[in-house]
């Protein structure tokens, strides 16, 4: 049965009922198992997308012709220096400047068709200015939140903190009691953007708009974050929360292109390894380290004696903000390392993360703790070794290790731009502990994997939440 996409047009038997989705920087291939509704999907996207995202959109369009992507007219971006000063504020202003274009697009391309009944607007984190567009058109706005429920709660906590005189955080602040976390949250694991005025005030503004939405669709499942979900659904000031996850792309359609040769080589190598013996190190498409840290990781892996598959990206250059491919790994790693570890290790640039996590040889995952990666590793029951880099990844790592107990810490408060170098012995110990031990963490991850899969089946928590959401949308009129 074909899986649906929770960000789409929904069609009824007589009239099309539409829910239009707006996204800022990324598109995710969203699927929920064994649920369908009639397809007539529509996405609207600013034209200023990075090439890899544009390529991904083109792939989706080709493989899913029922999806319709509408390009918005260009607007003049804020000054480039604003990106450097505060990227979050830059993105928010840039998207807000599309407000009139979004409204015109809906009026001209959706409401002009009298057979269409607009059910709502589904917006992502940075698109909250379009909440006002929904109100102007008399339709309900919904937020699609691609991170977890606990982090959603930390955002919703910000306006109350701000209104009570709370200024920007400092890493030296005492632990915070954030209701969606079981344990007190150290300030050292809060997102870096909360440490400066621009990021803090921007997220306070977004969180206020969240509370004006009719509902918040969260990429999680209730059992993974039972404490957070229970709190959010019990708060009168919080819109209805729909936990529809795990929303993961099990086909692994990464926007980063590969000619297939690397994939085949990687998978053949994994096929030759014993079950659950390989440590997989992968830090996302934006994750990279400087040479000193790469050398310490290498020495740690060598000291551990464990099998490993390591995806390495070259740090961004002056010509590009994004990490790049590595032409010669020996330039970045200790002398002789490649030769000494050739029988136990495989080093690559791009790696098919989903396929690797699903392979029987994979026994652990050293991860930056992006939420998608967390859900993918949970789906396959692979324990995570935490090494966050940016964004909300530090607080995700904290949640996995301290609240959920489904991960082992290498670092929880590491920051990509912090200058810290994690030493080899720490890497070696963590890798050895999880492959040769880690019994309780492994047990919890396996159990959560089974629970997450059941959540998407009929009778499961996410199935029920999505079914309720579709019912609500189908009842909306405009």
Report the sign of the C-alpha dihedral through residues 129, 130, 134, 137, in that order. Answer: positive
Which residues of the chain are in CATH 3.40.50.2000 domains?
9-245+457-475, 261-452
271/309 Cα distance (integer angstroms): 12
pLDDT at 467 over 90: yes
Contacts of 389 (CB under 8 A, 6+ apart): 283, 284, 286, 287, 368, 414, 415, 416
Q: Summarize pLDDT for 147-160 with one digit per residue, the tens.
A: 999 999 999 999 99
Whole-prediction pTM: 0.87
pLDDT at 13 over 80: no
In Å, how far are 89, 141, 308, 361 from 38, measured between CA atoms?
38, 21, 44, 39
Q: Which two tokens stand for residue 36?
A: 């369908």
Are the beta carbons of 89 and 59 closer than 8 angstroms?
A: no
Please report which residue ranges of 256-344 form alpha helices under DSSP H.
261-271, 291-304, 337-340
Residue 44 confidence (pLDDT): 55
Residue 20 confidence (pLDDT): 58
Q: Summarize pLDDT for 416-453 with one digit per residue, the tens.
A: 877 899 999 999 999 999 999 989 999 999 999 999 99
CATH topology assigned to domain 261-452 = Rossmann fold (3.40.50)
pLDDT at 50 over 70: no
Confidence of residue 319 (pLDDT cuts 50, 70, 90): low
DSSP-assigned letter for residue 324: B
Q: Summarize pLDDT for 231-250 with one digit per residue, the tens.
A: 999 999 999 999 999 999 88
- DSSP letters, 452-465, are HHHHTSTTSHHHHH
Q: Summarize pLDDT for 236-292 with one digit per residue, the tens.
A: 999 999 999 999 988 765 555 455 558 999 999 999 999 999 999 999 888 899 999
CATH superfamily of 9-245+457-475: Glycogen Phosphorylase B; (3.40.50.2000)
369/403 Cα distance (integer angstroms): 15
Phi, then psi, of 60 in degrees rounded to 5 = -65, -45
pLDDT at 73 over 80: yes
């Amino acid at each position: 049965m074909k899986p649906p996409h929770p960000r789409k047009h929904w069609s009824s038997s007589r009239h099309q009922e539409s829910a239009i989705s707006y996204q800022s920087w990324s598109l995710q291939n969203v699927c929920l198992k064994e649920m369908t509704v009639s397809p007539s999907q529509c996405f609207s996207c600013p034209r200023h997308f990075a090439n890899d995202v544009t390529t991904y959109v083109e792939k989706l369009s080709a493989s899913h012709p029922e999806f319709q992507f509408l390009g918005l007219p260009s607007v003049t971006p804020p000054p480039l220096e604003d990106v450097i000063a505060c990227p979050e504020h830059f993105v928010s202003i840039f998207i807000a400047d599309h407000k009139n274009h979004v409204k015109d697009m809906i009026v001209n391309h959706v409401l002009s068709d009298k057979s269409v009944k607009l059910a709502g607007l589904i917006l992502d984190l940075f698109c909250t200015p379009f909440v006002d567009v929904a109100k102007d058109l008399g339709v309900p706005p919904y937020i699609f939140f691609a991170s977890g429920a606990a982090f959603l709660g930390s955002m919703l906590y910000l306006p109350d903190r701000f209104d009570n005189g709370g200024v920007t955080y400092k890493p030296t602040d005492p632990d915070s009691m954030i209701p969606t976390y079981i344990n007190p949250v150290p300030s050292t694991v809060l997102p870096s953007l909360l440490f400066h005025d621009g990021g803090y005030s921007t997220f306070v503004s977004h969180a206020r708009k969240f509370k004006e939405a009719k509902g918040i669709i969260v990429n999680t499942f209730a059992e993974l974050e039972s404490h957070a979900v229970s709190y959010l659904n019990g708060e009168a000031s919080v819109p209805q929360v729909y936990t529809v996850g795990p929303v993961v792309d099990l086909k692994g359609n990464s926007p980063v292109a590969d000619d297939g040769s690397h994939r085949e080589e990687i998978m053949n190598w994994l096929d030759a390894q014993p079950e659950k013996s390989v440590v997989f190190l992968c830090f996302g498409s934006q994750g990279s380290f400087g040479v000193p840290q790469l050398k310490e990781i290498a020495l740690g892996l060598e000291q551990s004696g464990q099998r490993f598959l390591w995806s390495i990206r070259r740090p961004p250059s002056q010509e590009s903000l994004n990490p790049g491919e590595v032409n010669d790994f020996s330039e970045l790693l200790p002398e002789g390392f490649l030769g000494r570890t050739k029988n136990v290790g495989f080093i690559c640039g791009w790696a098919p993360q989903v396929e690797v996590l699903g392979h029987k040889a994979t026994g652990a995952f050293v991860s930056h703790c992006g939420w998608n990666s967390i859900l993918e590793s949970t789906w396959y029951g692979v324990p995570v070794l935490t090494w966050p880099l940016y964004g909300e990844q530090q607080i995700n790592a904290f949640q996995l290790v301290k609240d959920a107990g489904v991960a082992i810490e290498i670092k929880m408060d590491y920051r990509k731009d912090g200058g810290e170098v994690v030493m080899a012995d720490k890497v070696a110990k963590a890798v050895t502990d999880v492959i040769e031990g880690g019994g309780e963490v492994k047990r919890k991850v396996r159990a959560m994997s089974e629970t997450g899969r059941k959540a998407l089946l009929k009778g499961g928590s996410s199935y029920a939440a999505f079914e309720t959401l579709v019912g609500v949308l189908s009842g909306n009129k405009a």
